[in-house]
Chain A
Amino acid sequence: MNDRGNFIFIALGLMVGAIFLLPVLMYIFPPIDIIIKIILIFVIYRTVQGYLGNGVLTLIISCILIYFLVLKWWWIGATGWFAITLFGMGIFSIITWGSKTALDIFKPKR
């Protein structure tokens, strides 16, 4: 990869940084931790409800997923949800194009 193609690595690094920003914030600020966990519980329940409809099975499967993704491995749940949200909003495309543009601006032309 040449020096002008380095934007791919920069973009990937920025994406990983953006994704892991949420667990770090959750670890530092407890109110964010509580809010994100509540949002995650809603998201998981709505997802399972979308697959199975209303019923006891929905509650059981939601509880299992909530235990693993919100209580036990909360940082994986938060990271995954945040990555999906950023993908959905097209933030990663902005980061990719933005990092290329920023490199063009700040690198001196030979």
Chain B
Amino acid sequence: MIPVNFLSGMLPFMLFLDGLIGDMTLVLKIFVLLTIVSYVTQHLGKGPIAILIIVVLSYFIIFDYFIYFGGIYVLYMLVMFGISQLLMDFFILAPQAMMEQNMGGEEPPGAPHGLDFKERQHKMVEMRRMRGMM
């Protein structure tokens, strides 16, 4: 059984979350509406057909099926802002790290790694010192 003190302590946090989620849903709906308006007016101009299509699309996307389209819009915006680039970085580096682990800590042949970089930097510093640059 959940103690009453815990529930009363959680109440402000739950109210805070409730307000936050409601407000952010409204903000998301406004952004979805802006996207719909922009998309339709780019293709059809600002005539009566465009307004009709905006109304129909807004009804379905914002009011009727927002539970699906809200998530799709968030994913779309994340992809637009470059989250796929980040995933690609992970997909490139994670197998390399696992390969290194399987090889008993040795780097796979030809793969660039931090120690190479450190040694190269050290050699460059030595070369500069020899030439009297430092």
Contact = CB atoms under 8 A, between A and B. Distances in A.
Interface of A: 2-5, 7-8, 11, 48, 50-52, 61, 64-65, 68-69, 72-73, 76, 84, 87-88, 90, 92-93, 96-97, 100-105, 109-110
A103 B105 CA distance: 12
Which secondary structure dominates where chain B touches chain A? helix
Contacts of A72: 23
Contact of A105 (B85, B100, B115): B115
Interface of B: 20, 23-24, 26-27, 30, 34-35, 37-38, 81-83, 85-86, 89-90, 93-94, 96-98, 100-101, 104-106, 113-115, 117-118
Given A51-B37, A100-B114, A65 B85 contact: no
Dominant secondary structure at the A interface: helix
A65 B31 CA distance: 9
